[in-house]
Structure 1
Amino acid sequence: MVGPERAAWRRRDLLIASGLGACLPARAQGRSVTDGAGRRVNVPAQVQRIFPAGPPAAIWLYTLAPDALMGWPRANRGPELEFLLPGVGNRPEVGRLTGRGNTTNLEQLLASKPDLIVDAGSTRQTFVELADRVQAQTGIPYALLDGRLEATARGYTLLGELTGRVERAATLARYAQDTLRTVRERVARATTQPRVYYARGPEGLETGLGGSINVEMFEAMGIRHVAAGLQGGLATVSIEQVLAWDPEVIVTIDQTFSQTVAANPLWRGVSAVKSGRVHLSPKLPFGWIDFPPSVNRLPGLWWLGSKVFPSLFPEDLATLTRDFYKLFYQVDLSAAQVQRVLAGRS
Structure 2
Amino acid sequence: MQDPIGIPACFSSGEKLSDDPAAVTRSGQSVFMSVYRTKIADQCRLITVTWCKNLLVHGLSVSVEGPNGESQYTCKVELKPWYFWRKHGSKRFMVDGKAVDIFWDLKAAKFNGETEPNSEYYVAVVCNGEVVLLLGDLKKDAYRKTGCRPALIDPILVSRKEHIFGKKKFITRAKFHEKGRFHEISIECKNRATSCSGNTDNGNSLNGFEPEMEIRIDGYLVIHVKHLQWKFRGNESIHVNKLRIEVYWDVHDWLFNPGLRHALFIFKPSLLSTSSSSLSSTSSSSPPLSSSLTSTPLSSQIGSSGSVVEGFNGSGSSEFCLFLYAWKVE
After TM superposition, the score normalised by the length of structure 2 is 0.29
**Structure with more of its chain in helix, by fraction:** 1
**Structure with more of its chain in strand, by fraction:** 2
Q: Which has the higher contact order (CA 8 A, sep 6+)?
A: 1
After TM superposition, the score normalised by the length of structure 1 is 0.28
